[in-house]
Structure 1
Amino acid sequence: MKEELHIFGIRAVLEALEAGKTPEKILVRKDLTGNLFRQLQEAAKKHNMSLTVVPPERFRRFESRNHQGVVAVLSPITYREHTALIDETLARDKAPLFLLLDGVSDVRNLGAIIRTAECAGVSGLFLPASGSAPVSADTIKTSAGAAFNLPIARSPHLKDVVYYLQASGVRLVAATEKAESTLYEADLTGPLALIMGSEDRGIHPSLLKLCDIQAQLPMQGSIESLNVSVACGVFLFEAQRQRA
């Protein structure tokens, strides 16, 4: 990881949080205690961040830095605020296509999805603040740089994004094997947001029940499902075909 993507020390991380920075993760040495550490815990909770407790060995690579047992890892991109991204997009495009990822945890899957989404003309990507792969250097590489071109927002709760999209007149379509109809039967025109689930659990039931449409891919072989990045590409380009 590149040095410029790290913040070292408790006070420096506290200042970064108060300045509105949103680290991908905050590494904390497991034996850390004290008043300043408690301040960090409170600040992280206030900003909907979780602390990743790691053994002291993880800090060996930072021996030359005064890290105090705390290192924040920053994203190489700047995340957008979800309401602003939605409002700005709808102001210039009456039928945008958005994408929400519910817990895609593999950085290479995320990078591949970002690359496909940018090529498919997606207007914005929404990620949860926790439980998702980070937009890291590996993600950027796998996306072939598309992560710098596709607007990406991160929200503490994807439900908030769903509610705001629906209030803005955007329909939600869930890609799920639980659906009774296929994506080729679904109307994917107009203002639309596609939700893809995690590699192992799919879309969380509480999100699934909020969606306007549920659609599945028709599978013919003996394998029950596709890789999430491949499935996402099929859905996105079917939506583009219908819009053409």
Structure 2
Amino acid sequence: MDAYHKKPGIKKSSLIIGRQPIIEAIQSGRPIDKILFQQSVSGDSIGTIRQLARENNIPIQQVPAEKLHALSKSNHQGCIAIAGLIQYLELQQVIDHVVGAGETPLFVILDGVTDVRNIGAIARTAVCCGAQAIIIPDKGVGALNEDAIKASAGALEKIQVCRVNSLMKAVDTLHLNGIKVFASEMKAEKKVYELTYTEPCCIIMGSEDKGVFSGLLKICDEVFNIPMAGEFESLNVSVATGIILYEAMKQRL
């Protein structure tokens, strides 16, 4: 079976087929998860789509023609977009909104978290603990599809989601706005409860196998670990996020 047909997030109803429909969808503000381009596709309208994708942080993926044919028998003109279920927001826009509402920012960055069930569970916990936003990269993270929304019990539709083309730049933006960035790291000396979460802050959570990217660790304000009674490799990332965010909520209460 074709790999694209195996993905539960790609359904016929979520496809935007053809060049002009894709341009119009982006310009109208419709959420787009990614755009699939046939390899070596060209033309003025393709250049327009690429430009719009860059401006809106929409990932582009080059695929063989067979992939597009498998998704649609229609004349796709070398490109198909996959519509999203989540409206992505600009990070600065979210910061301004949260601060303008008189709230203290509490954000979560997901670095390399690919399991949509974990992403959904993290979103659910984030909403319950008072976090206002989740920040994800445009590549290397699980799709925020129907499965993720279901796992979040609808929380992904309640929390603000920012999609950025660089987590490093996102941290720079947070710092410029006076928001400290903390990262969970198994080998860190500080404990999760030794940090101050009452100030504006953002928590970076990495994948269970690779952890947080080393470049991000270097520019964080603090790194910390979650102490455990027994010897075990690590906690599930959604469980670990819940522990951290509960500590933040406890301090803020």
TM-score bin, normalised by smaller chain: 0.7 to 0.9
Task: Establish whether residue 13 from structure 1 lines up as the match of residue 22 from structure 2.
Answer: yes
TM-score (norm 2): 0.84
SS of the aligned residue for 1:164 comes to helix
The CA RMSD over aligned residues, in Å, is 2.4
Note the C-alpha offset of 1:203: 1.2
Task: Establish whether residue 35 from structure 1 lines up as the match of residue 46 from structure 2.
Answer: no
Pick from 78, 103, 108 the counterpart of residue 117 of structure 2: 108
Deviates more, 1:219-228 or 1:231-240: 219-228
Note the C-alpha offset of 1:102: 1.4
Identity %: 38
Note the C-alpha offset of 1:57: 5.1
Task: Establish whether residue 60 from structure 1 lines up as the match of residue 70 from structure 2.
Answer: yes
Match of 1:231 in 2: 240
Number of aligned pairs? 242
Note the C-alpha offset of 1:83: 0.2
Deviates more, 1:227-236 or 1:183-192: 183-192
SS of the aligned residue for 2:171 comes to helix
Q: Distance in 2 between matches of 1:42 and 1:100?
A: 26
Equivalent residues of 2:68, 2:79 under 8 A apart: no
Deviates more, 1:91-100 or 1:165-174: 91-100
Equivalent residues of 1:44, 1:51 under 8 A apart: no
Equivalent residues of 1:175, 1:196 under 8 A apart: yes
Equivalent residues of 2:98, 2:104 under 8 A apart: no
Equivalent residues of 1:41, 1:51 under 8 A apart: no
Note the C-alpha offset of 1:130: 1.6
Deviations 1:67-116 (CA, angstroms, capped at 9, x unpaired): 23421112112111110100110122342311111121121111111111
Distance 1:192 1:34, change over 3 A: closer
Match of 1:24 in 2: 33
Structure 2, unaligned stretches of length 5 or more?
A: 1-9
* 1:112-191 equivalence runs, <5 A: 112-191=121-200
